[in-house]
Structure 1
Amino acid sequence: MDLSIVVPTYNEAPNIAELVTRVASATSGIRAEVVFVDDSTDGTADEIRRVAAEAVIPVRLIHRDIPTGGLGGAVMVGFDAAASDICIVMDGDLQHPPEDIPRLWRRYVVGDVDVVVASRYSGEGTNGGLAGASRIAVSKSATLLTKAMFPGRLKGVTDPMTGFFLIDRRLLDLSTLKPRGFKILLEILARTNLRVAEVPFDFADRNAGESKASFRQG
């Protein structure tokens, strides 16, 4: 397996089929799998099982009855279970376009970086999918604050709050990470000395369902 795509989900049933279809199309020529780590209370797990039975790429489900650590904890579970050491993390709501997966992969295989960050604020990237002025303000403020707190580790990183990135899990000591909530990339970058590159992406509108982000999370 070349690539494991880790997708933490919470009540994203309407998005699963399209997500898997688009990931399968985007990863043509790459030996890829999708690992869903699901904390849902709706029918998302059943929908993942249904889609997995028909998918043209391997799709696996890990359903957590006790969702320790929130989304970040789910990502850690996905890293541990992944068949490949090279993992992409992305959301299950299609705001992270699967069509950008090859861009992250191509940048990584150049061989000079450990992490490839999909950035809303680099180059031609956009944050159009952030709904409402409050979410935009929270996102930008949190980014500025974290870059001020960790100027060395986050030097050159325009979007440490993104949930869309590629990483070589062999460089992580998972036992030292203490994920809480949404922003697992920030913790990884702050705790670990890694070589980082960015590729711009367009943060899309949510496909279906409701955002789990909130002012309190920010």
Structure 2
Amino acid sequence: MILHLDELGFQSAQRDKEANLSLANPTIAVIIPTYREAANLPVLVPRIDTALRGSDLRGEIIVVDDNSPDDTERVCGELAKTVPLRLAIRRNERGLSSAVIHGMRMTDADVLLVMDADLSHPPEKIPELIETLCRPGVDFVIGSRYVAGGSTDVGWGLFRWLNSKAATLLARPLTNARDPMAGFFAIRRSTFRSAENLSPIGYKIGLELIVKCRCQQVREVGISFANRLHGDSKLTMKEQLNYVRHLMRLYGHAARRAFRRR
């Protein structure tokens, strides 16, 4: 099923019904933001479907694409013949974070799980993230590179590792999570709906949700983070500057919230 959101608007994407999370058998939506990732989807989507079916998890895959000039629409049409997949094509809006929010608003699933399309996040870890989120009191779960069982690809290099660590340290006043920069995470839909004025810049939507949804109990599941399979990285100097701007906004939001509590 293909939705052109800029043509149809958000009426069918935003649901008023509040889903109650069943700890025993939640429904899952796997949300994948894409831009020029057509070569990776035929590998990624079947692995996600296998991981869900293998754990008796009920769910769907939602691809939110920023009008890629490649075969994304055709590839998703073929995959949707055998896998519960929906594609939303955004004609007039761009950005990973806003694409994730679009996908989250398209579904009534109990659990919203986000991952990249480039095969850096292992779909086989999805059941463990879901199981962890369904424990009492847990607000947010991260597929983490920096906890026990986590690792990065040997091809990362010192500069990339230091860049990631520096970004994580800058976020430390906002959360104690070891890997808050991760793009592989799960959150309850009811928690997402409690968000305060989402206004993300750049790629770090997970950190935005931790702060704006007031996630107190954040858990991390170790994953092996791989280099992308096909295509080029979207991380540029512009995105690094966007991250600093994003942090300033989140610091300001946290400060205003603390002031209101006085």
Contact conserved, 1:2 with 1:86, CA < 8 A, in 2?
yes
In structure 1, which of residues 35, 50, 53 is the aligned counterpart of residue 62 of structure 2? Answer: 35
Structure possessing the higher radius of gyration over alpha carbons? 2
Helix, strand or coil at the partner of 1:45: helix
For residue 75 of structure 1, report the CA deviation from its aligned partner: 0.4
Check 1:118–1:185 CA distance in 2 against 1; reply closer, same or farther (3 A cut): same
State the alpha-carbon separation in 1 of the partners of residues 76 and 197 from structure 2: 30
Q: Which runs of 5+ in 1 are unaligned?
A: none
Paired letter, 2:180:
P
- Aligned counterparts of 2:210 and 2:133: Cα–Cα separation in 1: 17
CA distance in 1 between counterparts of 2:155 and 2:114 reads: 19
Which residue number corresponds to residue 94 of structure 1? 119
8 A Cα contact 1:71 1:181, kept in partner: yes
Q: Letter of the aligned partner of 1:48 in structure 2?
A: C
Question: Partner residue of 1:61?
Answer: 87
Instruction: Select the residue among 220, 224, 248 that pairs with 1:198.
Output: 220
Offset at 1:95?
Answer: 0.5
Task: Determine whether 1:16 maps to 2:37.
Answer: no
Q: Counterpart of 1:190 in 2: which secondary structure?
A: helix
Secondary structure (helix, strand or coil) at the match of 1:41 reads coil
Which residue of the other structure, out of 55, 78, 91, is the alignment partner of 1:50?
78
Cα pair distance change 1:189/1:146, threshold 3 Å: same
The residue identity in structure 1 corresponding to 2:202 is: G
Q: Per-residue deviation at 1:27?
A: 0.7
Q: Provide the rounded CA distance (Å) in 1 between the counterparts of 2:138 and 2:92.
A: 34
Query: Paired residue for 1:125?
Result: 150
TM-score by length of structure 1 reads 0.90
Within 2, Cα distance between the matches of 1:34 and 1:129? 30
CA change 1:129–1:183 in 2 (3 A) is: farther
Aligned to 1:187: 208
Question: Would the alpha carbon gap of residues 176 and 59 (structure 1) be closer, same or farther in structure 2, given more than 3 Å must change?
Answer: same
User: Quick check: 2:195–2:213 contact (8 Å CA) kept in 1?
Assistant: no
Q: Distance in 1 between the 2:159 and 2:93 partners?
A: 27
Cα drift, residue 211 of structure 1: 1.2
Does the CA contact (< 8 Å) of 1:4 and 1:34 recur in 2? yes
Structure number with higher relative contact order (C-alpha < 8 Å, ≥ 6 residues apart): 1
| Secondary structure at the counterpart of residue 199 of structure 1 | strand
Q: Is 2:29–2:59's contact at 8 Å kept on the other side of the alignment? A: yes
Paired residues of 1:6 and 1:89 also in contact (CA < 8 A) = yes
Aligned equivalents of 2:91, 2:154: Cα separation in 1: 30
Counterpart-to-counterpart distance in 2, 1:185 and 1:23: 20
Change (3 A) 1:91 1:84: same
In terms of mean alpha carbon deviation, does 20-29 or 109-118 score higher? 109-118
Q: Which runs of 5+ in 2 are unaligned?
A: 1-25, 241-262
Residue aligned with 1:197, SS: strand
8 A contact 2:32–2:116 mirrored in 1: yes
Q: TM-score, normalised by structure 2?
A: 0.75
Whole-Å Cα distance in 1 between the matches of residues 128 and 117 of structure 2?
Answer: 19
In percent, how many aligned pairs have the same letter?
Answer: 38
Query: Number of paired residues?
Result: 210
**Aligned-partner SS, 1:211:** coil
CA–CA distance in structure 2, aligned partners of residues 49 and 187 of structure 1 = 32
Contact 1:95–1:129 (Cα < 8 Å) also in 2: no
**C-alpha displacement at 1:208, in angstroms?**
1.1
